Protein backbone atom coordinates (compact mmCIF):
# COMPACT_ATOMS: atom_id res chain seq x y z
CA UNK A 1 0.00 0.00 0.00
CA UNK A 2 1.33 3.44 -0.92
CA UNK A 3 0.28 7.03 -0.25
CA UNK A 4 -0.66 8.72 -3.53
CA UNK A 5 -1.84 12.15 -2.35
CA UNK A 6 -2.12 14.39 0.72
CA UNK A 7 -4.43 17.38 0.43
CA UNK A 8 -6.41 19.77 2.61
CA UNK A 9 -9.68 21.61 3.05
CA UNK A 10 -10.52 24.34 5.57
CA UNK A 11 -13.96 25.10 6.99
CA UNK A 12 -14.58 28.51 8.54
CA UNK A 13 -16.35 27.56 11.77
CA UNK A 14 -15.76 28.88 15.30
CA UNK A 15 -12.12 28.31 14.34
CA UNK A 16 -10.56 27.13 11.09
CA UNK A 17 -11.34 23.41 10.97
CA UNK A 18 -8.36 22.19 8.97
CA UNK A 19 -8.78 18.78 7.33
CA UNK A 20 -6.16 16.49 5.84
CA UNK A 21 -7.09 13.80 3.35
CA UNK A 22 -4.64 10.99 2.58
CA UNK A 23 -5.28 8.75 -0.43
CA UNK A 24 -3.66 5.41 -1.22
CA UNK A 25 -3.18 3.24 -4.29
CA UNK A 26 -5.58 0.71 -2.67
CA UNK A 27 -8.38 3.26 -2.86
CA UNK A 28 -8.50 4.11 0.84
CA UNK A 29 -9.16 7.70 1.89
CA UNK A 30 -8.05 8.72 5.38
CA UNK A 31 -9.22 11.86 7.14
CA UNK A 32 -7.52 13.83 9.92
CA UNK A 33 -7.88 17.26 11.49
CA UNK A 34 -5.24 19.73 12.66
CA UNK A 35 -5.47 22.49 15.28
CA UNK A 36 -5.63 25.86 13.51
CA UNK A 37 -2.53 27.97 12.94
CA UNK A 38 -1.45 30.74 10.60
CA UNK A 39 0.01 29.26 7.39
CA UNK A 40 -0.97 25.72 8.40
CA UNK A 41 -2.14 24.30 5.08
CA UNK A 42 1.13 25.33 3.41
CA UNK A 43 3.05 23.26 5.98
CA UNK A 44 0.72 20.28 5.48
CA UNK A 45 1.20 20.36 1.70
CA UNK A 46 4.98 20.48 2.13
CA UNK A 47 4.97 17.54 4.58
CA UNK A 48 2.71 15.63 2.22
CA UNK A 49 5.55 15.53 -0.30
CA UNK A 50 7.49 13.37 2.20
CA UNK A 51 4.70 10.79 2.32
CA UNK A 52 3.81 10.21 -1.32
CA UNK A 53 5.07 6.75 -2.32
CA UNK A 54 5.48 5.65 1.33
CA UNK A 55 3.63 2.76 2.98
CA UNK A 56 1.25 4.37 5.53
CA UNK A 57 1.59 1.31 7.79
CA UNK A 58 5.11 2.51 8.68
CA UNK A 59 3.41 5.06 10.89
CA UNK A 60 6.11 5.69 13.44
CA UNK A 61 8.89 5.93 10.88
CA UNK A 62 6.81 8.35 8.80
CA UNK A 63 6.06 10.39 11.93
CA UNK A 64 9.79 10.68 12.56
CA UNK A 65 10.41 11.46 8.91
CA UNK A 66 8.02 14.42 9.13
CA UNK A 67 9.73 15.62 12.34
CA UNK A 68 13.17 15.50 10.78
CA UNK A 69 12.05 16.87 7.47
CA UNK A 70 10.23 19.88 8.86
CA UNK A 71 12.35 21.25 11.65
CA UNK A 72 15.66 19.49 11.70
CA UNK A 73 17.09 17.68 14.69
CA UNK A 74 15.80 18.38 18.17
CA UNK A 75 12.55 20.06 17.23
CA UNK A 76 10.56 20.53 20.45
CA UNK A 77 7.27 22.09 19.43
CA UNK A 78 5.39 24.57 17.32
CA UNK A 79 2.91 24.78 14.50
CA UNK A 80 4.56 22.02 12.51
CA UNK A 81 3.19 19.56 15.09
CA UNK A 82 -0.33 20.81 14.44
CA UNK A 83 0.26 19.68 10.84
CA UNK A 84 1.90 16.38 11.82
CA UNK A 85 -0.92 15.58 14.27
CA UNK A 86 -3.62 15.86 11.62
CA UNK A 87 -1.60 13.94 9.05
CA UNK A 88 -0.89 11.13 11.54
CA UNK A 89 -4.61 10.82 12.33
CA UNK A 90 -5.37 10.54 8.60
CA UNK A 91 -2.70 7.84 8.24
CA UNK A 92 -4.22 5.93 11.19
CA UNK A 93 -7.62 6.16 9.48
CA UNK A 94 -6.11 4.61 6.34
CA UNK A 95 -4.27 1.88 8.25
CA UNK A 96 -7.41 1.04 10.22
CA UNK A 97 -9.41 0.72 7.02
CA UNK A 98 -6.72 -1.49 5.50
CA UNK A 99 -6.70 -3.90 8.48
CA UNK A 100 -10.45 -3.45 9.05
CA UNK A 101 -9.82 -2.26 12.60
CA UNK A 102 -11.09 0.82 14.43
CA UNK A 103 -8.36 3.29 15.43
CA UNK A 104 -8.85 2.49 19.14
CA UNK A 105 -7.64 -1.05 18.44
CA UNK A 106 -4.52 0.26 16.75
CA UNK A 107 -3.94 2.29 19.94
CA UNK A 108 -4.13 -0.75 22.22
CA UNK A 109 -7.82 -1.61 22.43
CA UNK A 110 -10.80 -0.33 24.32
CA UNK A 111 -11.34 0.35 28.01
CA UNK A 112 -14.78 1.85 27.38
CA UNK A 113 -17.42 1.90 24.67
CA UNK A 114 -18.64 5.41 25.49
CA UNK A 115 -16.43 8.41 26.08
CA UNK A 116 -17.57 11.10 28.50
CA UNK A 117 -17.60 14.57 26.97
CA UNK A 118 -17.61 17.85 28.85
CA UNK A 119 -19.21 20.91 27.27
CA UNK A 120 -17.18 24.09 27.09
CA UNK A 121 -19.72 26.82 27.84
CA UNK A 122 -17.18 29.63 27.23
CA UNK A 123 -18.33 32.66 29.18
CA UNK A 124 -21.99 31.77 29.26
CA UNK A 125 -22.71 33.71 26.06
CA UNK A 126 -23.04 32.64 22.43
CA UNK A 127 -19.82 31.85 20.68
CA UNK A 128 -17.83 34.10 18.42
CA UNK A 129 -15.69 32.98 15.53
CA UNK A 130 -11.93 33.56 15.70
CA UNK A 131 -9.41 33.57 12.87
CA UNK A 132 -6.01 31.78 13.13
CA UNK A 133 -4.63 34.81 15.01
CA UNK A 134 -7.54 34.61 17.50
CA UNK A 135 -9.04 37.83 16.14
CA UNK A 136 -12.88 37.89 16.06
CA UNK A 137 -14.37 37.51 12.56
CA UNK A 138 -17.87 37.31 11.16
CA UNK A 139 -18.59 34.34 8.90
CA UNK A 140 -22.00 34.40 7.21
CA UNK A 141 -23.44 31.66 9.47
CA UNK A 142 -22.95 33.73 12.64
CA UNK A 143 -26.29 35.33 13.60
CA UNK A 144 -26.47 39.04 12.84
CA UNK A 145 -26.96 40.02 16.49
CA UNK A 146 -23.56 38.51 17.28
CA UNK A 147 -21.85 40.44 14.53
CA UNK A 148 -21.32 43.70 16.40
CA UNK A 149 -17.68 44.66 16.30
CA UNK A 150 -16.07 44.83 19.68
CA UNK A 151 -15.09 48.30 20.76
CA UNK A 152 -13.15 49.27 23.82
CA UNK A 153 -14.53 52.19 25.77
CA UNK A 154 -12.30 55.23 25.69
CA UNK A 155 -10.09 56.47 22.91
CA UNK A 156 -7.52 53.96 21.74
CA UNK A 157 -5.69 54.98 18.63
CA UNK A 158 -4.58 51.53 17.42
CA UNK A 159 -6.16 48.26 16.28
CA UNK A 160 -7.89 46.30 19.05
CA UNK A 161 -8.11 42.55 18.69
CA UNK A 162 -10.31 41.40 21.54
CA UNK A 163 -10.32 39.24 24.63
CA UNK A 164 -7.58 36.82 23.57
CA UNK A 165 -5.21 39.80 23.66
CA UNK A 166 -6.34 40.94 27.10
CA UNK A 167 -8.37 43.68 25.42
CA UNK A 168 -11.97 42.90 26.32
CA UNK A 169 -14.92 45.08 25.53
CA UNK A 170 -15.27 47.08 28.75
CA UNK A 171 -19.04 47.21 28.29
CA UNK A 172 -19.19 43.42 28.34
CA UNK A 173 -19.75 42.21 31.92
CA UNK A 174 -20.53 38.60 32.74
CA UNK A 175 -22.88 37.91 35.61
CA UNK A 176 -23.39 34.93 37.92
CA UNK A 177 -26.97 34.70 36.59
CA UNK A 178 -25.72 34.31 32.99
CA UNK A 179 -23.40 31.51 34.09
CA UNK A 180 -26.12 29.79 36.11
CA UNK A 181 -28.65 29.97 33.26
CA UNK A 182 -26.19 28.59 30.73
CA UNK A 183 -25.08 25.79 33.06
CA UNK A 184 -28.64 24.70 33.71
CA UNK A 185 -29.55 24.81 30.03
CA UNK A 186 -26.55 22.69 28.97
CA UNK A 187 -27.17 20.12 31.69
CA UNK A 188 -30.96 19.96 31.43
CA UNK A 189 -31.37 20.24 27.64
CA UNK A 190 -28.25 18.48 26.38
CA UNK A 191 -27.62 15.97 29.16
CA UNK A 192 -23.98 16.74 29.90
CA UNK A 193 -22.54 15.51 33.19
CA UNK A 194 -19.53 17.82 33.06
CA UNK A 195 -19.19 21.46 31.96
CA UNK A 196 -16.52 24.15 31.78
CA UNK A 197 -16.65 27.95 31.84
CA UNK A 198 -14.13 30.75 31.34
CA UNK A 199 -13.17 32.49 34.55
CA UNK A 200 -10.89 35.17 33.05
CA UNK A 201 -13.77 37.31 31.82
CA UNK A 202 -14.34 41.07 32.10
CA UNK A 203 -15.59 42.03 35.54
CA UNK A 204 -16.60 45.29 37.18
CA UNK A 205 -13.49 45.37 39.38
CA UNK A 206 -10.91 44.86 36.67
CA UNK A 207 -8.00 47.31 36.80
CA UNK A 208 -5.41 45.85 34.41
CA UNK A 209 -5.76 42.86 32.09
CA UNK A 210 -2.04 42.71 31.26
CA UNK A 211 -0.41 42.54 34.70
CA UNK A 212 -1.49 39.06 35.78
CA UNK A 213 -2.72 40.50 39.08
CA UNK A 214 -6.11 40.01 40.73
CA UNK A 215 -7.63 42.26 43.35
CA UNK A 216 -9.60 40.86 46.27
CA UNK A 217 -12.78 42.18 44.64
CA UNK A 218 -11.98 40.36 41.40
CA UNK A 219 -11.37 37.10 43.21
CA UNK A 220 -14.68 37.52 45.04
CA UNK A 221 -16.41 38.20 41.70
CA UNK A 222 -14.89 35.07 40.15
CA UNK A 223 -15.83 33.03 43.20
CA UNK A 224 -19.38 34.30 42.65
CA UNK A 225 -19.41 32.92 39.10
CA UNK A 226 -18.19 29.54 40.36
CA UNK A 227 -20.73 29.50 43.18
CA UNK A 228 -23.57 30.32 40.76
CA UNK A 229 -22.66 27.41 38.48
CA UNK A 230 -22.37 24.96 41.39
CA UNK A 231 -25.67 26.18 42.82
CA UNK A 232 -27.37 25.82 39.40
CA UNK A 233 -26.28 22.26 38.67
CA UNK A 234 -25.91 20.76 42.13
CA UNK A 235 -23.34 18.22 43.25
CA UNK A 236 -23.94 15.53 40.62
CA UNK A 237 -22.44 17.56 37.76
CA UNK A 238 -18.70 18.13 37.43
CA UNK A 239 -17.65 21.74 36.84
CA UNK A 240 -14.34 23.15 35.63
CA UNK A 241 -13.07 26.70 35.00
CA UNK A 242 -10.43 28.02 32.60
CA UNK A 243 -8.11 30.97 33.30
CA UNK A 244 -6.18 30.97 29.98
CA UNK A 245 -2.70 31.50 31.54
CA UNK A 246 -3.57 34.96 32.85
CA UNK A 247 -2.33 35.22 36.43
CA UNK A 248 0.80 35.40 38.54
CA UNK A 249 1.59 32.62 41.00
CA UNK A 250 0.43 34.45 44.13
CA UNK A 251 -2.95 35.50 42.75
CA UNK A 252 -3.48 32.13 41.08
CA UNK A 253 -2.99 30.55 44.52
CA UNK A 254 -5.47 32.98 46.09
CA UNK A 255 -8.02 32.20 43.38
CA UNK A 256 -7.55 28.41 43.59
CA UNK A 257 -7.93 28.60 47.36
CA UNK A 258 -11.08 30.78 47.13
CA UNK A 259 -12.89 28.24 44.93
CA UNK A 260 -11.95 25.19 47.03
CA UNK A 261 -15.41 24.92 48.69
CA UNK A 262 -17.07 24.34 45.28
CA UNK A 263 -15.39 21.01 44.51
CA UNK A 264 -14.12 21.80 41.00
CA UNK A 265 -13.24 19.04 38.57
CA UNK A 266 -10.32 21.36 37.78
CA UNK A 267 -9.05 24.91 37.47
CA UNK A 268 -7.32 25.22 34.10
CA UNK A 269 -4.17 27.18 33.28
CA UNK A 270 -4.20 29.66 36.18
CA UNK A 271 -0.57 30.56 35.33
CA UNK A 272 1.36 30.48 32.04
CA UNK A 273 2.50 26.99 31.02
CA UNK A 274 6.25 27.41 30.44
CA UNK A 275 7.46 27.35 34.03
CA UNK A 276 7.04 24.00 35.77
CA UNK A 277 8.09 25.34 39.17
CA UNK A 278 5.49 28.13 39.02
CA UNK A 279 2.79 25.63 38.09
CA UNK A 280 3.96 23.24 40.80
CA UNK A 281 3.75 25.99 43.45
CA UNK A 282 0.11 26.65 42.54
CA UNK A 283 -0.75 22.94 42.37
CA UNK A 284 0.93 22.18 45.70
CA UNK A 285 -0.86 25.07 47.43
CA UNK A 286 -4.46 24.00 46.90
CA UNK A 287 -6.94 21.15 47.02
CA UNK A 288 -8.45 22.50 43.77
CA UNK A 289 -7.13 20.23 40.99
CA UNK A 290 -4.96 22.15 38.50
CA UNK A 291 -5.10 21.17 34.82
CA UNK A 292 -2.91 22.20 31.90
CA UNK A 293 -1.53 20.82 28.66
CA UNK A 294 -3.05 22.37 25.53
CA UNK A 295 0.18 24.29 24.89
CA UNK A 296 2.59 21.41 25.44
CA UNK A 297 3.96 19.46 22.52
CA UNK A 298 5.10 15.83 22.46
CA UNK A 299 5.89 13.48 25.33
CA UNK A 300 9.03 15.55 25.94
CA UNK A 301 6.96 18.66 26.56
CA UNK A 302 5.00 16.86 29.30
CA UNK A 303 7.92 15.03 30.89
CA UNK A 304 9.17 17.67 33.32
CA UNK A 305 5.77 18.86 34.57
CA UNK A 306 4.49 15.28 34.98
CA UNK A 307 7.62 13.94 36.69
CA UNK A 308 7.70 16.89 39.11
CA UNK A 309 3.95 16.61 39.64
CA UNK A 310 3.46 20.20 38.61
CA UNK A 311 -0.18 19.61 37.76
CA UNK A 312 -3.04 17.30 38.70
CA UNK A 313 -4.62 16.67 35.29
CA UNK A 314 -2.94 16.64 31.86
CA UNK A 315 -4.89 18.07 28.93
CA UNK A 316 -3.05 17.38 25.66
CA UNK A 317 -4.70 18.53 22.45
CA UNK A 318 -4.60 15.59 20.04
CA UNK A 319 -4.81 17.90 17.02
CA UNK A 320 -1.52 19.59 17.93
CA UNK A 321 0.42 17.58 20.54
CA UNK A 322 2.03 15.32 17.93
CA UNK A 323 -0.72 12.83 17.12
CA UNK A 324 -2.79 10.01 18.57
CA UNK A 325 0.10 7.62 19.16
CA UNK A 326 1.97 10.45 20.88
CA UNK A 327 -1.17 11.04 22.95
CA UNK A 328 -1.03 7.39 23.98
CA UNK A 329 2.59 7.85 25.10
CA UNK A 330 1.70 10.99 27.09
CA UNK A 331 -1.22 9.20 28.74
CA UNK A 332 1.08 6.34 29.74
CA UNK A 333 3.64 8.80 31.14
CA UNK A 334 0.87 10.47 33.17
CA UNK A 335 -0.40 7.09 34.32
CA UNK A 336 2.96 6.25 35.90
CA UNK A 337 2.21 9.19 38.25
CA UNK A 338 -1.50 8.28 38.60
CA UNK A 339 -2.43 11.50 36.77
CA UNK A 340 -5.66 11.52 34.73
CA UNK A 341 -5.98 12.76 31.14
CA UNK A 342 -8.67 15.20 30.00
CA UNK A 343 -7.92 15.97 26.33
CA UNK A 344 -8.34 19.56 25.22
CA UNK A 345 -10.35 19.69 21.98
CA UNK A 346 -11.69 22.53 19.84
CA UNK A 347 -12.11 20.35 16.76
CA UNK A 348 -14.99 19.48 14.47
CA UNK A 349 -16.50 15.97 14.76
CA UNK A 350 -13.55 14.59 12.77
CA UNK A 351 -10.85 15.61 15.25
CA UNK A 352 -13.17 15.05 18.21
CA UNK A 353 -13.82 11.45 17.12
CA UNK A 354 -10.08 10.86 16.65
CA UNK A 355 -9.59 12.07 20.24
CA UNK A 356 -12.45 9.80 21.36
CA UNK A 357 -10.63 6.75 19.95
CA UNK A 358 -7.64 7.62 22.14
CA UNK A 359 -9.90 8.35 25.13
CA UNK A 360 -11.40 4.88 24.74
CA UNK A 361 -7.97 3.26 24.61
CA UNK A 362 -6.26 4.74 27.70
CA UNK A 363 -6.95 3.66 31.27
CA UNK A 364 -6.54 7.09 32.92
CA UNK A 365 -9.14 9.00 30.90
CA UNK A 366 -11.23 11.64 32.67
CA UNK A 367 -13.28 13.64 30.12
CA UNK A 368 -12.97 14.94 26.54
CA UNK A 369 -13.71 18.55 25.64
CA UNK A 370 -16.45 19.64 23.26
CA UNK A 371 -16.00 23.23 22.10
CA UNK A 372 -18.56 23.41 19.31
CA UNK A 373 -21.83 24.03 21.11
CA UNK A 374 -22.71 27.22 19.27
CA UNK A 375 -21.64 26.15 15.78
CA UNK A 376 -25.00 25.41 14.12
CA UNK A 377 -23.52 22.87 11.68
CA UNK A 378 -21.19 21.03 14.10
CA UNK A 379 -23.15 17.76 13.93
CA UNK A 380 -24.16 18.20 10.27
CA UNK A 381 -20.58 18.17 9.01
CA UNK A 382 -20.12 14.54 10.18
CA UNK A 383 -21.38 11.63 8.10
CA UNK A 384 -21.58 7.88 8.62
CA UNK A 385 -22.16 7.77 12.38
CA UNK A 386 -25.81 6.80 12.18
CA UNK A 387 -26.97 9.41 14.71
CA UNK A 388 -25.55 12.36 16.58
CA UNK A 389 -21.81 12.21 17.32
CA UNK A 390 -22.41 13.51 20.85
CA UNK A 391 -25.49 12.08 22.52
CA UNK A 392 -26.44 13.08 26.09
CA UNK A 393 -22.87 14.06 26.87
CA UNK A 394 -21.20 10.92 25.55
CA UNK A 395 -19.59 9.74 22.30
CA UNK A 396 -20.11 6.13 21.32
CA UNK A 397 -16.82 5.14 19.69
CA UNK A 398 -17.57 3.44 16.37
CA UNK A 399 -16.56 -0.16 15.65
CA UNK A 400 -16.14 0.52 11.95
CA UNK A 401 -12.64 0.37 10.45
CA UNK A 402 -10.46 3.45 10.90
CA UNK A 403 -11.98 6.64 12.26
CA UNK A 404 -15.50 5.33 11.76
CA UNK A 405 -16.96 8.63 10.57
CA UNK A 406 -16.31 10.86 7.59
CA UNK A 407 -17.04 14.33 6.35
CA UNK A 408 -20.31 15.49 4.84
CA UNK A 409 -18.59 17.18 1.92
CA UNK A 410 -21.66 19.12 0.88
CA UNK A 411 -21.80 20.83 4.30
CA UNK A 412 -18.00 21.28 4.37
CA UNK A 413 -18.11 22.90 0.95
CA UNK A 414 -20.90 25.26 2.02
CA UNK A 415 -18.74 26.66 4.84
CA UNK A 416 -15.36 26.28 3.12
CA UNK A 417 -12.88 29.05 3.84
CA UNK A 418 -12.50 31.40 0.88
CA UNK A 419 -9.07 31.24 -0.73
CA UNK A 420 -8.19 27.77 0.58
CA UNK A 421 -8.03 24.68 -1.65
CA UNK A 422 -10.79 22.14 -1.11
CA UNK A 423 -9.22 18.65 -1.23
CA UNK A 424 -7.15 19.26 -4.32
CA UNK A 425 -9.48 21.72 -6.04
CA UNK A 426 -7.72 25.05 -6.19
CA UNK A 427 -9.86 28.03 -5.17
MG1 LIG B 1 -8.06 25.95 28.07
pLDDT digits (tens, 9 = 90+) for 341-367: 999 999 999 999 999 999 999 999 999
Q: Give the Å distance between the CA of 28 and the centre of ligand 1.
A: 35
Compute the distance between CA of residue 141 and CA of residue 138 in angstroms, rounded to an integer. 8
Q: Give the Å distance between the CA of 62 and the centre of ligand 1.
A: 30
Of 241, 272, 38, which Cα lies nearest the Cα of 166? 272
Cβ(319)–Cβ(345) under 8 Å?
yes
The average confidence (pLDDT) of the chain is 93
Q: Give the Å distance between the CA of 417 and the centre of ligand 1.
A: 25
Pick the CATH number of 3-102+409-414 from 3.40.50.720, 3.30.559.30, 3.40.50.2000, 3.30.390.10: 3.30.390.10
Q: Return the C-alpha torsion angle 51, 57, 61, 67, nearest 10.
A: 50
Q: Give the Å distance between the CA of 340 and the centre of ligand 1.
A: 16
Segments of the chain scoring below 50 in pLDDT: 147-153
Q: How crowded is residue 146: how many other Cβ atoms within 10 Å of its Cβ?
A: 14
Question: What's the pLDDT at 31?
Answer: 98
Helices (H), 286-419: 298-307, 324-335, 349-361, 409-414
Question: What's the pLDDT at 149?
Answer: 44
> 114-406: what CATH class?
alpha beta
The residue extents of the domains of the chain are 3-102+409-414, 114-406
Q: Which residues surround the ion ligand 1 when the cut-off is CB under 5 Å?
A: 242, 268
Of the CA atoms within 13 Å of residue 231, those in its CB half-sphere come to 12
Question: What's the pLDDT at 315?
Answer: 98
Amino acid sequence: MKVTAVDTAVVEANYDWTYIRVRTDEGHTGLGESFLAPGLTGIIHELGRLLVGEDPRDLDRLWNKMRWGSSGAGSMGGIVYNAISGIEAALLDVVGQHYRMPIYQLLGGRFRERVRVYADCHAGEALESLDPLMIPRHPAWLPADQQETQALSGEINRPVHGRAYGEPDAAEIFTPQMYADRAKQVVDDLGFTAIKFDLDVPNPHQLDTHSGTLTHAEIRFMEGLVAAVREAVGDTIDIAFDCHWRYNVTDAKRLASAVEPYGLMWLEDPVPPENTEAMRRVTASTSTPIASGENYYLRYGFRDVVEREGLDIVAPDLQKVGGLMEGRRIADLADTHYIPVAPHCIASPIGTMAAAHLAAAIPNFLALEWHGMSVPFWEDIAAGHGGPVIDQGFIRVPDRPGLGITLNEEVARRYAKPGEPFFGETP
